[in-house]
Amino acid sequence: MRSKPSTRFKTAIYEQIAHIGKATASAGRLELLDLLSQGPRTVEALAVQIGQSLANTSHHLQVLRRARLVDAEKAGVHVTYRLADPQVATFFLHLRTLAESRLADIERVTREYLEGRGALEAVGNDELLRRVRASEVIVIDVRPHEEYVAGHIPGAISLPLSVLRSGLGDLPKDRDVVAYCRGPYCVMALDAVDILRRKGFRAHRMEHGILEWRARGWRVEIGSGRQAGARS
């Protein structure tokens, strides 16, 4: 029996939408979208970040590109990827939020990990956000500097985790320090807080990253901004 034109129309639309679902049905590709939400990166840098081979990373990126979720630009021998549209970052955040609300294991796994590290914050995230926005604390961005340049919380100091110890002399010990990275499941801020507390700082981890900050409609700064060791 031949289907009706209206049925064929709806099927064609849903098949197109399904391309997005198929492209994101991979933990590795979701992690790539998360990373690219921080800013453009080369294939080589992305492969290191997700701990996969260059070939596997390139394959994942090609799948995302065919679904028109990412764009690529070649310069010499390097290919740099970026999100195709700001809506892709919004989609990723909404997908993650939906998963958090429907899948109890996300909260359980997160709590077990944080408890295992002794990293459950005494200060709630909303209170930290208030203090950050009121400039009551020193804010450090511990992501790689290129991510900071692509977009950071206003007033934050760029102090990548890889050079954190060498930049501690520029941080005052008489004020609370709040570290942030790529959001609630990024461990760089946890590692930074561990280092800071061992050195005698009153340090806290903020769950929000730049993706969550933008989602609230708050201003984001772009550019080199402030770096530890540089005088403003």
d(CA 124, CA 85): 32
pTM of the predicted model, to two decimals?
Answer: 0.89
Point out the least confidently predicted range of 2-11, 107-116, 189-198: 2-11
Q: What is the pLDDT of residue 75?
A: 86
Q: What confidence tier does 125 reach under pLDDT thresholds 50, 70, 90?
A: confident
CATH code of the domain in which 181 resides: 3.40.250.10
Residue 140, both tokens: 């450090």
Whether 98 is covered by a domain: the verdict is no
Known catalytic residues are 181
d(CA 195, CA 190): 9
Q: Where does a domain end: 88, 113, 142? A: 88
Q: Which domain holds residue 31?
A: 5-88
pLDDT at residue 203 tops 90: yes
Mean pLDDT score, 205-213: 94
Q: Where does a domain end: 88, 108, 136? A: 88
Domain count, the chain: 2
